[in-house]
């Protein structure tokens, strides 16, 4: 796929698109409400011969749980097409420690289960790693456990550093707020698995068997989604939502109102 220099409304390069990596929160849905184009996304992409996966920094749910959440909105998807920052985190830790090890977790079931299924022992006792992500049941004691683990020598891993989570009635604090608290307490900056680092997208591309130069990412945040796509060598498509703030020196290859508009452009391009 060859695309021209950045021209927000010039979408001719979509004709050569082979795969899409699509963010979930703020692109497919907000909270439990599907956004325009969500229900027609999978069937349309399949009809157009475009492979796809959903890529999310949100590690609170397992792929099976995301499947059920999406199905409740009328979006049918195979869980193998759902790649979370928890999955990227597990792949990273397995490279560092193939035999597993103790992991202190600040996060929810999606992250805990991914680590447990991969053979890691989720415990606050003598952790080799501290992994932090979004935790909507966060307690002060969780922050204490993470801080003590890192100060005791554990490597600090963040699933992501998103500052906000889009929901039906606005924005909630994201995982980045929690990660920042731990970093402030310890003076240690984490290794980040999710966007804006390219790791999560690279995992998804390998799962699809797609090349970066033939793929594009669709996201609603320049600071995370678009930066990650650029870092991974992919084309970038921005959904102009309330988190789509301008970042100096960083621009998407295409800007759309929503998935519905993107699907219309894809149909015309093919």
Q: How many CB atoms lie within 10 A of CB 80?
A: 11
Three-state secondary structure call for residue 53: strand
Q: Please identify which of the residues 25, 51, 220, 253 carries the catalytic annotation.
A: 25
- 171 and 148 co-located in one domain: yes
Domain that holds residue 106: 86-192
- 118 and 158 co-located in one domain: yes
Tens digits of residue pLDDT in 213-235: 999 999 999 999 999 999 999 99
Last residue of a domain, one of 192, 227, 261: 192
pTM (2 d.p.): 0.89
Count up the domains in the chain and report the number.
2
Quote the CA–CA distance of 148 and 212 in Å, as a whole number: 40
The phi, psi pair for 67, rounded to 5°, reads: -55, -45
Tens digits of residue pLDDT in 71-98: 999 999 999 999 999 999 999 999 999 9
Residue 234 within any structural domain of the chain = yes
Quote the CA–CA distance of 74 and 257 in Å, as a whole number: 21
Per the CB < 8 A criterion, the answer to whether 1 and 13 are in contact is yes
Tens digits of residue pLDDT in 107-124: 999 999 999 999 999 999
- 45 and 116 co-located in one domain: no
What is the pLDDT of the chain when averaged over all its residues?
93
Annotated active-site residue 23? The verdict is yes
- 184 and 117 co-located in one domain: yes
Last residue of a domain, one of 192, 221, 255: 192
- 93 and 166 co-located in one domain: yes
Question: What was the pLDDT predicted at 126?
Answer: 98
CATH number, position 175: 3.40.50.1000
Three-state secondary structure call for residue 68: helix
- 91 and 184 co-located in one domain: yes
Q: Please identify which of the residues 23, 51, 162, 220 carries the catalytic annotation.
A: 23
């Amino acid at each position: 796929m060859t695309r021209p220099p950045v021209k927000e409304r010039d979408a001719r390069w979509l004709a050569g698109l082979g795969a899409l990596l699509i963010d979930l929160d703020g692109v497919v849905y907000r909270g439990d409400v599907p956004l325009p184009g969500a229900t027609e996304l999978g069937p349309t992409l399949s009809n157009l011969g475009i492979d796809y996966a959903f890529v999310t920094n949100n590690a609170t749910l397992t792929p099976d749980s995301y499947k059920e959440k999406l199905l409740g909105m009328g979006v049918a998807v195979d869980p193998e097409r759902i790649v979370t920052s928890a999955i990227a985190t597990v792949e990273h830790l397995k490279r560092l420690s193939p035999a597993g090890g103790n992991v202190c977790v600040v996060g929810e079931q999606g992250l805990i289960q991914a680590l447990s299924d991969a053979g890691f022992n989720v415990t606050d006792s003598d952790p080799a790693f501290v992994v932090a992500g979004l935790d909507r049941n966060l307690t002060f004691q969780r922050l204490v456990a993470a801080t003590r683990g890192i100060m005791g020598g554990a490597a600090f891993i963040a699933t992501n550093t998103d500052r906000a989570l889009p929901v039906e009635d606005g924005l909630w604090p994201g995982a980045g707020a929690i990660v920042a608290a731990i970093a402030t307490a310890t003076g240690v900056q984490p290794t980040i698995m999710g966007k804006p680092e390219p790791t999560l997208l690279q995992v998804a591309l390998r799962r699809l068997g797609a090349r970066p130069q033939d793929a594009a990412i669709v996201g609603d945040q320049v600071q995370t989604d678009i930066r990650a796509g650029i870092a991974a060598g992919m084309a970038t498509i921005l959904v102009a939502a309330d988190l789509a703030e301008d970042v100096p020196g960083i621009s998407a290859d295409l800007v759309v109102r929503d998935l519905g508009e993107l699907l219309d452009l894809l149909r015309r391009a093919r």
